Amino acid sequence: MIIDNHPFEVNDKGHLVIGGADAVELAQKYGTPLYVYDVNIIRNNCKAFIETFDKMEVTAKVAYASKAFSSIAMLQIMKQENMCLDVVSEGELYTALQAEFPTEKIHLHGNNKSLNELRMAIENDIGCIVVDNFREIELIGRLLKEYNKQMDVLMRVTPGIESKTHQYIMTGNEDSKFGFNLNNGQAEEAFKLLWNHEFIKFKGLHCHIGSQIFETDRFLIATEVLFQELKNWKNTYGFIPEVLNLGGGYGIRYTSEESPISYDIYVKELVTEVKKHVQMLAIPMPEIWLEPGRAIAGNAGLTLYTVGAIKHIPGIRNYVSVDGGMTDNLRPALYQAKYEAVIANKASAPPISEVSIAGKCCESGDMLIWDLPLPKVDHGDILAVFSTGAYGYSMANHYNRFAKPAVVFVEDSQDKLVVKRESYQDIISHDLSYE
């Protein structure tokens, strides 16, 4: 039996199966809360992007946005799948270096890159820096001169497009902390600083309109806006872009309310749009770069919890509390994000009533799912919340001094611990005595 809307199955025992492994046995072996990934789904998500570009014979780079889930094992898989890597901080870059990710395939982002971050990027000869503001142009120029190195740079621009997504995960609108504004002349001003720079090899534009977006038309409109500017720069300065990075943001299914488009359709539509503009401008086809994060990791992961307290408030609500919450999945509290879940040890049982899944933080807003249809729930049941593979572990926190859960990868029925569960000693390890 296949679980509706999610890429998982149920075995003869009525247990949820992920990557060929029984989720209930994984919970017993590793404890809960536990993040579990089906590695084949991660690999297939990468292939969906890369193979579509290959079929269309377009030179492309697909960079995994490692903010979605960064760990040594995850980045090793990205390396095996020939992905490039987007990092936004020293910590993400450090993880990539520790995973021995090829540095020329790493791209550095960030709206406030520190001197140290830029130094680390330049010292390690990463593939590209995506410049975000004027101060950074100055810093990069100064550092490259100091190291006597040249480096590929893209300029992040905001095309002034609002995407249909949560306000906190929109980034292409004009009122954004990211990138140079295309409409008020700032992008052109930045262009003049970057173009023909002694040390900066200015390759083209970067644009990321937001996250969890389903309409391809938003990406196409953004592409059109970029080309309006590129036309201006070609006619005025003779600039021909070598690279166009159209960012990430491709939506995934969290619940049956979402109907994601398959990734090859995004790629095909984007390539067609770029080709159209390239022909109109009569310039060679630039390389197309994309930066999916959620689309690579999101639906490959789920979180297992153990059910604890159950509270019935007659006529009002049934609360089912689990042993994790906003510390391992911040998205419901931060974006009112919706999720679906099943009881992993009763995965084929039909629902009999609606319950609301509460986390165990000392916070009323620590609710993982409201009004979830489930079979009869008992203490000790294992709840599996789907689509937690992106921005779950990566946004986990220590509120209430909860330890971060472990992460297990499963591939072809073989499970492997890839991130250890934190201990309480880990949590206090940076505390110093005041006695």
Ligand X SMILES: Cc1ncc(COP(=O)(O)O)c(C=O)c1O
Ligand Y SMILES: N[C@@H](CCCC[NH3+])C(=O)O
Residue numbers in the known binding site are 249, 291-294, 331, 335, 363, 391
Whether 362 is a known active-site residue: answer yes
- The alpha carbon dihedral of 384, 385, 387, 391 has a sign of negative
Interface region with ligand X, contact rule CB under 6 A, candidates 290-298, 366-374, 409-417, 424-432: 290-298
Q: Rule CB under 6 A: is residue 79 a binding residue for ligand Y?
A: no
- Other C-beta atoms closer than 10 Å to the C-beta of 349 total 14
Q: Which residue is nearest to ligand Y (CB)?
A: 391
Q: Rule CB under 6 A: is residue 208 a binding residue for ligand X?
A: yes
Interface region with ligand X, contact rule CB under 6 A, candidates 287-295, 325-333, 348-356, 379-387: 287-295
130/152 Cα distance (integer angstroms)? 9
Work out which of 70, 211, 303, 388 binds ligand Y, going by CB under 6 A.
211
- Residue with Cβ nearer ligand X (293 or 392): 293
- Please choose which of ligand X, ligand Y, none residue 331 contacts, taking the beta carbon within 5 to 8 angstroms, the exact cut-off set by kind: ligand Y
Find the Cα–Cα–Cα–Cα dihedral 168, 170, 172, 178, rounded to 10°: 30
For residue 308, give both structure tokens: 């604890």
Map residue 5 onto helix, strand or coil: coil
Work out which of 7, 19, 33, 292 binds ligand X, going by CB under 6 A.
292
Angle at 27 between CA 23 and CA 32, to 5 degrees: 130
Q: Rule CB under 6 A: is residue 204 a binding residue for ligand X?
A: no
Instruction: Tell which residue, 89, 152, 95, 141, has the closest CA to residue 117.
Output: 89
414/38 Cα distance (integer angstroms)? 10
Q: Considering 84, 128, 361, 362, which one is annotated as catalytic?
A: 362
- Please choose which of ligand Y, ligand X, none residue 292 contacts, taking the beta carbon within 5 to 8 angstroms, the exact cut-off set by kind: ligand X
228/231 Cα distance (integer angstroms)? 5
The CA distances from residue 84 to 41, 150, 300, in Å, are: 18, 20, 19
- Please choose which of ligand Y, ligand X, none residue 6 contacts, taking the beta carbon within 5 to 8 angstroms, the exact cut-off set by kind: none
Alpha carbon 76 to chain centroid distance?
A: 16
* Residue 420 C-beta: closest distance to ligand X, Å: 25
Q: Rule CB under 6 A: is residue 64 a binding residue for ligand Y?
A: no
Q: Rule CB under 6 A: is residue 294 a binding residue for ligand X?
A: yes
* Residue 168 C-beta: closest distance to ligand Y, Å: 7
* Residue 210 C-beta: closest distance to ligand X, Å: 7
Residue recorded with tokens 């309480």:
424
B/e letters for 70-92, b = 16+ CB within 10 Å, e = fewer, are bbebbbebbbebebbbbbbbbeb
Instruction: Tell which residue, 369, 370, 347, has the closest CA to residue 6.
Output: 347
- Please choose which of ligand Y, ligand X, none residue 52 contacts, taking the beta carbon within 5 to 8 angstroms, the exact cut-off set by kind: none
Using CB under 6 A, which residues numbered 245 to 274 contact ligand X? Answer: 247-250
Work out which of 169, 170, 252, 384 binds ligand Y, going by CB under 6 A.
169
Main-chain phi, psi angles of 273, to 5 degrees: -65, -45
Work out which of 331, 338, 360, 404 binds ligand Y, going by CB under 6 A.
331
* Residue 260 C-beta: closest distance to ligand Y, Å: 14
Where does this chain bind ligand Y (CB under 6 A)? 67, 169, 171, 211-212, 331, 391, 395
Where does this chain bind ligand X (CB under 6 A)? 65, 68, 86, 109, 171, 208, 211-212, 247-250, 291-295, 390
Q: Which residues are catalytic?
A: 362
